[in-house]
């Protein structure tokens, strides 16, 4: 890029940064292969976030969990929750996801997710690049910014607060192929740190009473 393009990119980045804050780079969104024969019921339930591309809506968030369940209309209820230190209270967001191309066979693990609790309707694509349902999931999303830039999101999810070495190895294959390792920031999932004082939170142990 020349300096004018860099300036333009910085400007667009600034604008994008207000609403998203994903990993922004030149180029159009990649068409990565996704997990197929997607089994939505097996994907439901609790996931712990292990690493992510930093997001404005998640800035500084630790002890992040995502919980997926079925809505009455067959869509997926997305319940994201995190702790932003030094705060002690978990923050959460509820979204709704639908399979992007429900008539495709085999069914691709592509979801469209919307969060409308925020001032602006945020709609994003959520592609599961790989999962074994029982231990790990590698999730990626991307949208175009103007005609020359893209903004990517990525999340490494685990059924348990830490990945087993086997799951870690599986995840690494996807990271090497499709993600930018240096931009994946680790999420704290230390149980002493993530303990909760909220009896409704079941993903973490209750903090010892002083």
Ligand X SMILES: *[C@@H]1O[C@H](CO)[C@@H](O)[C@H](O)[C@H]1NC(C)=O
**Residues lying near ligand X in the complex (CB under 6 A):** 98, 100, 112, 125
From the CB of 98, what's the least distance to ligand X, in Å?
5
From the CB of 209, what's the least distance to ligand X, in Å?
47
Closer residue to ligand X (CB): 27 or 74: 74
Closer residue to ligand X (CB): 112 or 148: 112
Closer residue to ligand X (CB): 50 or 139: 139
From the CB of 112, what's the least distance to ligand X, in Å?
4
From the CB of 139, what's the least distance to ligand X, in Å?
15
Closer residue to ligand X (CB): 13 or 98: 98
- Cis omega (within 30 of 0) for bond into 86: yes
From the CB of 111, what's the least distance to ligand X, in Å?
8
Closer residue to ligand X (CB): 129 or 167: 129
Name the residue with the smallest CB distance to ligand X. Answer: 112
């Amino acid at each position: 890029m020349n300096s004018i393009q860099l300036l333009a990119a910085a400007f667009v980045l600034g604008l994008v940064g207000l609403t998203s804050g994903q990993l922004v780079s030149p180029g159009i969104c990649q068409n990565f292969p996704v997990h197929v024969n997607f089994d939505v019921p097996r994907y439901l339930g609790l996931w712990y976030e292990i690493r992510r591309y930093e997001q404005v809506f998640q800035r500084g968030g630790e002890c992040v969990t995502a919980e997926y369940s079925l809505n009455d209309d067959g869509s997926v209820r997305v319940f994201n929750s995190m702790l932003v230190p030094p705060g002690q209270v978990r923050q959460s967001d509820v979204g709704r996801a639908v399979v992007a191309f429900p008539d495709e066979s085999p069914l691709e693990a592509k979801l469209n997710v919307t969060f409308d609790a925020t001032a602006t309707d945020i709609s994003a694509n959520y592609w599961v690049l790989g999962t074994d349902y029982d231990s790990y999931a590698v999730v990626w999303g991307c949208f175009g910014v103007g005609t020359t830039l893209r903004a990517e999101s990525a999340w490494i999810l685990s059924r348990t607060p830490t990945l087993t070495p086997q799951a870690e190895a599986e995840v690494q294959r996807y990271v090497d192929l499709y993600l930018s390792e240096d931009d994946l920031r680790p999420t704290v999932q230390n149980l002493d740190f993530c303990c909760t004082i909220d009896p409704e939170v079941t993903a973490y142990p209750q903090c010892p009473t002083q």
